[in-house]
A and B are shown apart, each in its own frame.
Chain A
Amino acid sequence: GDSVTQMEGPVTLSEEAFLTINCTYTATGYPSLFWYVQYPGEGLQLLLKATKADDKGSNKGFEATYRKETTSFHLEKGSVQVSDSAVYFCALRTNYGGSQGNLIFGKGTKLSVKP
C-alpha cells in the first residue's frame, strides 16, 4: 500500500545551519505531497505542499521539490532559527479511490535548533 518514509530524528542543529529532512514515498498513481509542522503543545499545521511532479512548495524559508523519478519530497531550509524547533511530518494524499482526502503520514522528525 501507499506509504511515507522520512528520516529518523532527532535532528539537532545550530542556528543558521542548513537543514535537510529526507522524505520518500510509495504510491500508486500521482499523489499530492505535503509537509506539516507541529510546534510544542500544538496540533499540526500545513507548512507547504506540491501537487504534481517538479512542483516546488515553499513557505517561511522552507522548500521541497516533488521528484517523481526518485519518489522524494525532501524538506530544506538554508538557515534555521531557534523558532524552527518542532516536529516535521511528510505526508501524501492519493488521488484515487474513496479516501476522501485522507493523508498518509510519515513518523515525524524532531528538529532542535540550538542558539
Chain B
Amino acid sequence: DVKVTQSSRYLVKRTGEKVFLECVQDMDHENMFWYRQDPGLGLRLIYFSYDVKMKEKGDIPEGYSVSREKKERFSLILESASTNQTSMYLCASSSAAVDNSPLHFGNGTRLTVT
C-alpha cells in the first residue's frame, strides 16, 4: 500500500514564526500536492509538484512556498505564519505514469497559529 506520511499531526506556532510541514511518500510517485482543508470551503490546492525541483502554484499560494529536493519528499513552508493560516494541511501524491491514478493522502497536520 502507498504510504504518505506527514511528520506532525498537530502543531502550534506563534505569529511570525517560520513553519515547515514535511511530507514523505514511499511509492516513487512523480506528483505531490499540498492542500488546506477548512470547514465550509473543502480542499483548496496550495502548491503541487510533478518532478524534483519543479513546482506549480495552486489556487491559494500566497503566504506559502514549497521545496522538492528529493522525489519522495515535499515540504510546505510558511515564511511568516499568520492566524489565518490556522488550518488542516493535507499532503497527497499520485503517479504520473498511470492514467487517472488516484491521489493518496496523508493523515493531515492540524496547524494552529496563535
A106→B44 CA distance, assembly (Å): 10
Per-residue CB contact flags for chain B residues 76-114 toward chain A (1 = under 8 Å, else 0) read 000000000000001010101001111111111000000
Judge whether B61 is part of the interface by a CB distance below 8 angstroms. no
Partner of B42, one of A42, A45, A51, A106: A106
Q: Indicate if the CB atoms of A43 and B43 lie closer than 8 Å.
A: no
Q: A29: which B residues are within 8 A, CB to CB?
A: none
Partner of A41, one of B33, B56, B101, B107: B107
Q: B107: which A residues are within 8 A, CB to CB?
A: 41-43
Number of contacting residues on B, CB 8 A? 26
Mark B residues whose CB is within 8 Å of A. 4, 31, 33, 40-43, 45, 48, 50, 56, 58, 90, 92, 94, 96, 99-108
* Total contacts A-B at CB 8 Å: 54
Mark A residues whose CB is within 8 Å of B. 32, 34, 36, 41-46, 49, 51, 89, 93, 98, 100-103, 105-108
A109→B58 CA distance, assembly (Å): 23
Q: A36: which B residues are within 8 A, CB to CB?
A: 103
Q: Indicate if the CB atoms of B40 and A44 lie closer than 8 Å.
A: no
Q: B101: which A residues are within 8 A, CB to CB?
A: 101
Q: Indicate if the CB atoms of A102 and B48 lie closer than 8 Å.
A: yes
